[in-house]
Amino acid sequence: MTLYALLLIAHAAFANDPSVPAKPVEGSVLAMGIERLAATDVAGTRDEAKRVKAALAGAEDAHLVFGKRGFELSRPGAGAIPLSDSLGRALDSMRQYLDLGQAPSPTSDELRDAFLSRAGVDAVRAVFDKMIDDAIDLDGRRLVLEVGGEATMEPSPRLRYIDDFARPVLHEIMAARRDPAALRAIYDQHPEEMKTIDDAGTLKSVLGVLDRMKARGDAQDKRDALLALATRTIAENSASSFTLEPAAQLRAVCAQDWSGRYVGRWHTHPPHDEPAGWGGGSEPSGPDMQNAVDDGQFLTIAFQPDGFIVYDASVLGETKTIDLNKMKKIVYRSDDWRRHFQERHDALRLAGKS
Ligand SMILES: [Zn+2]
């Protein structure tokens, strides 16, 4: 389980001025947002953000407005700065995200009612369905990968994704898993992602060993078996970890509209593909609990063959204790769920055999 520190924008610190005109962005939010967008190209607007930052010169009284000409920054006593639609939307989304902090987070009771509502169950089911769609096919066995993001309640739970930055490269690795030269090329092209995917250096050292085996004339099938073991190992390690990094979080914040009440971060413990059906996801790990202690709510949503368990970690954040027994469990079970996922499992097994 690897988790990097989040961007962690302190919600309450920014949103406190309800009196400004339509679509306002308080000066400090604006300054922070422009700063972030000028530092990374998450919204594809880095150059423009740099120009706007220079033009604003730290003005704390600017507001983001949406007028006849689209988004612009208006400043009392100075000319408006027109913005591209991309930059305007990114800043507006950031404002919406920070505004979530004005409403209190849901209580544990509200959270339980929301997750056990019809819409809540559907939201969780959609996440697990998508995870199974995106699973890695290990010669017939599906390796289902952890996902996560940030959740809001509006009033049903909305599980918004933050993309794990290394996942696209993991899929590339698995597509090239029988081709040492292609694997080496992926390694060279994506050193940052590979540090996360192959943190123990397993695949890297095996690629070196394969060269030596080839040089001394070892059989092809022996080399293939070693490579298969190495790629399977790193895939299995990656499947049970989900990496949140600040740029990915910022990208997710800027890419969508935000409303409702802020719940916190969430991640899943995926189903395991077993011969007869899906095995359940595990309980929250030590690092999961540490995460909640350090940075507040971190939901663990564990798949079960007949439902799911949402582990609500809010108490850990409040009491700063790592204790599985202190987590509140929201348990959902139904025959309908069991039937649905069993059918998916059986269909995938049949497809794997044909
Ligand atoms: Zn976890």
> How big is the chain by its Cα radius of gyration, in Å?
23
Task: Please say which residue of 102, 125, 152 terminates a domain.
Answer: 102
pLDDT for position 108: 95
Full-prediction pTM beyond 0.85? yes
Q: Give yes or no for residue 177 having a pLDDT over 70.
A: yes
In a domain, residue 116? The reply is yes
At 325-340, the pLDDT tens digits run 999 999 999 999 999 9
In a domain, residue 124? The reply is yes
Dist. CA 34 → ligand 1 center (Å): 33
* pLDDT confidence tier of residue 352, bands split at 50, 70 and 90: confident
pLDDT for position 209: 94
* pLDDT confidence tier of residue 7, bands split at 50, 70 and 90: very low
pLDDT for position 31: 79
Dist. CA 12 → ligand 1 center (Å): 27
Q: Give yes or no for residue 264 having a pLDDT over 80.
A: yes
Pair 268, 330 in one domain: yes
Task: Please say which residue of 102, 117, 140 terminates a domain.
Answer: 102
At 50-69, the pLDDT tens digits run 998 888 876 667 888 887 78
Dist. CA 270 → ligand 1 center (Å): 9
b (16+ CB within 10 A) / e for 224-260 = eeebeebbbebbebbbbbbbbbeebbbbbbbeeebeb
Dist. CA 289 → ligand 1 center (Å): 8
In a domain, residue 313? The reply is yes
Dist. CA 172 → ligand 1 center (Å): 24
Dist. CA 281 → ligand 1 center (Å): 9
In a domain, residue 230? The reply is no
Pair 281, 210 in one domain: no
Average pLDDT estimate for 12-32: 51
Q: Give yes or no for residue 344 having a pLDDT over 60.
A: yes
Q: How far is CA 244 from CA 19, 143, 247, 262, 335, in A?
A: 35, 20, 9, 18, 34
In a domain, residue 5? The reply is no
Pair 325, 215 in one domain: no
Average pLDDT estimate for 187-212: 94
Pair 127, 268 in one domain: yes
Average pLDDT estimate for 235-259: 89
Which residues lie at CB < 5 A from ion ligand 1? 285, 288
Task: Please say which residue of 55, 82, 102 terminates a domain.
Answer: 102
In a domain, residue 302? The reply is yes
pLDDT for position 59: 66
Pair 250, 156 in one domain: yes
In a domain, residue 71? The reply is yes
List CB contacts of 16: < 8 A, sequence separation 6 or more: 26, 102
Dist. CA 157 → ligand 1 center (Å): 19
- State whether the Cα torsion 235-239-245-250 is positive or negative: positive
Dist. CA 300 → ligand 1 center (Å): 6
Rounded CA separation 288/203 (Å): 27
Dist. CA 142 → ligand 1 center (Å): 19
Dist. CA 310 → ligand 1 center (Å): 11
**CA within 13 Å, CB half, 113:** 8
Instruction: Give the N- to C-terminal CA distance of the chain in Å, as an integer.
Output: 35
Closest CA relative to residue 259, chosen from 106, 146, 113, 97: 97
Dist. CA 268 → ligand 1 center (Å): 7
Pair 177, 152 in one domain: no
Pair 59, 130 in one domain: no
Dist. CA 296 → ligand 1 center (Å): 14
In a domain, residue 285? The reply is yes
Closest CA relative to residue 310, chosen from 155, 105, 151: 151
Pair 152, 195 in one domain: no
Q: Give yes or no for residue 127 having a pLDDT over 70.
A: yes
Q: Give residue 304's domain range.
A: 108-164+242-353
Dist. CA 114 → ligand 1 center (Å): 21
In the block, tokens 């740099």 appear at 50
Pair 152, 124 in one domain: yes
pLDDT for position 353: 65
Pair 324, 213 in one domain: no
Pair 39, 158 in one domain: no
Pair 200, 160 in one domain: no
Average pLDDT estimate for 145-162: 95
Decide which of 230 and 98 is more confident.
230
**Based on the structure, what is the number of domains in the chain?**
3
